[in-house]
Amino acid sequence: MASFSDVLGAFHHDGGAYKGAVPDNWLQGRTLYGGLSAALCLEGAFAAFADHGPLRSAQISFIGPAEGEISIKAEILRRGKSVSFVNTDLHCDKGLSVRAVFAFGAARDSIFDTRFLPPPDLPGPDDAPVFFPPEHGPLFARNFSVRLARGAMPVSASKEYDHFLWVRHKDDKAISLSALVALADMPPPAVFAMFPRPAPISTMTWSLNFLADKFPQGADWFLLEARAEDAAHGYSSQDMFVWDRNGAPLIAGRQSVAIFI
């Protein structure tokens, strides 16, 4: 089974693109797991443009299935005094699969240094039950250790729409920012627990705001929240958050998800 580090190690520069193939153990249904797609786009941006400030936000559109040979091209959209925008397009044999725009911004002096997102008071990972048994769940999920801190299991006809998971990479070398991005998409859509029976789901867009200049450099546990706001007309909107094990907020996100039930 190829780890996150193995996947990144197999990619290389070729003709101005960041290219490689991803093994089947990172598939989510018929496509590459969205968190890994986003992480590869970020690695493509890093590989093409080394001179940038900290990552501040990302806007990711999952346009079509990604599989087989992957090619990522990056371009600078604008380089300002403090903020730069970089676009990355992930192509596979079937065409454009993922488009991601990253905003990098240097730190500035400000009257504000305040966090308005306190961590929830929940059991730690050692006291929470296993979320996915080893033999169940999608293939990509087996690359992570996952514990249910609060909420419900997928496809359990639950009334819960706010779920908290402790998640970490099984790969001890997965300590980069791109590894954190890959991990941040781990929770199933929040509304998935309300499904009375299995049915397809597909993330369409994912927006991420990065709340720190520096991120934990270790394959530790992170607390992830997925909270549904609305589900109607075949689509669901949800908020997502990531805290480190000490309760510091790291990422605030939103997703739009197509649901086929």
What average pLDDT does range 142-168 have in this prediction?
A: 96
CA distance 255 to 227: 10
Which residues contact residue 38 at a Cβ distance below 8 angstroms, ignoring those fewer than 6 apart? 58, 60, 98, 100, 181, 182, 185, 206
Enter the tokens of residue 40. Answer: 């590869």
pLDDT for 153: 93
What average pLDDT does range 168-179 have in this prediction?
A: 96
Distances (CA, A) of 133 to 3, 142, 145: 19, 9, 10
- Res 133 pLDDT > 90: no
Domain limits of the chain?
A: 4-106+123-259
Residue 139 or residue 191, greater confidence:
191
| Range among 14-28, 127-141, 147-161 rated most confident | 147-161
SS3 253: strand
CA distance 251 to 184: 8
pLDDT for 134: 62
Report the CATH architecture of 4-106+123-259.
Answer: Beta Barrel (2.40)
What average pLDDT does range 55-84 have in this prediction?
A: 94
Confidence of residue 163 (pLDDT cuts 50, 70, 90): very high
Per the CB < 8 A criterion, the answer to whether 5 and 143 are in contact is no
Residue range 137-148, pLDDT digits in tens: 788 999 999 999
DSSP lists the bridge partners of residue 223 as 166, 243
pLDDT for 117: 85
| Range among 8-17, 126-135, 212-221, 241-250 rated most confident | 241-250
Tell which residue, 101, 90, 102, has the closest CA to residue 53.
102
pLDDT for 84: 94
Return mean pLDDT, the chain. 94
What average pLDDT does range 218-226 have in this prediction?
A: 94
CA distance 258 to 243: 26
Enter the tokens of residue 146. Answer: 């996952």
CA distance 256 to 150: 22
Confidence of residue 6 (pLDDT cuts 50, 70, 90): very high
CA distance 44 to 11: 9
- Dihedral sign (CA 251, 252, 256, 261): positive
pLDDT for 135: 66
- Res 29 pLDDT > 90: no
Which residues contact residue 150 at a Cβ distance below 8 angstroms, ignoring those fewer than 6 apart? 120, 122, 162, 163, 164
Tell which residue, 27, 26, 36, has the closest CA to residue 2.
26
